[in-house]
Homo-oligomer: A and B are copies of this chain.
Amino acid sequence: MAVSNSSHARPAEDLREAMCPHRLVLEHVTSRWGVLVLLALLDRSYRFSELRRHVGRVSEKMLAQTLQTLERDGFVLRDAKPVIPPRVDYSLTPIGREAAERVRALAEWTGVRMEQVQEARAAYDEAREAKLKP
């Protein structure tokens, strides 16, 4: 039976893992919060709450999940200092930096082309509008 090696159940991931593993890695680094986490860590390391404030509007659950996924894939290093109160620092591994840099390239490209995208959307929407009430 399909045994997940990870602790918490993620059936959809497990199924798709079998058929196309590297597609899943791509999804991890381009996921909604994955992108933002990688870009943040490209600058410097962050503590959990600090990262949460920096990213903004992310629940602790999703941030924790995202960080765990990226850590498991070997992109993020989790450094939990044995102090009270707890202090955990997150940073990129060398391979994580490679990933983050490529994600940044893509993200920056979208920024550069944003204006053309807006124009394309306006044109598309107008063309639709025209077709509905001529």
- 26 A/B residue pairs, CB under 8 Å, sorted by A: A22-B107, A22-B110, A22-B114, A23-B107, A23-B110, A25-B114, A25-B117, A26-B30, A26-B35, A26-B106, A27-B32, A29-B110, A30-B30, A72-B120, A72-B121, A72-B124, A72-B125, A73-B117, A74-B117, A74-B124, A95-B120, A98-B109, A102-B106, A103-B106, A105-B105, A106-B106
Q: How many residues of A contact B (CB 8 A)?
A: 40
Which residues does chain B contribute within 8 Å of A110, judged by CB atoms?
Answer: 22-23, 25-26, 29
Task: Give me the interface of A with B, judged by CB distance under 8 Å.
Answer: 5-7, 21-23, 25-27, 29-30, 32, 35, 71-74, 95, 98-99, 102-103, 105-107, 109-111, 113-114, 116-121, 123-125, 128
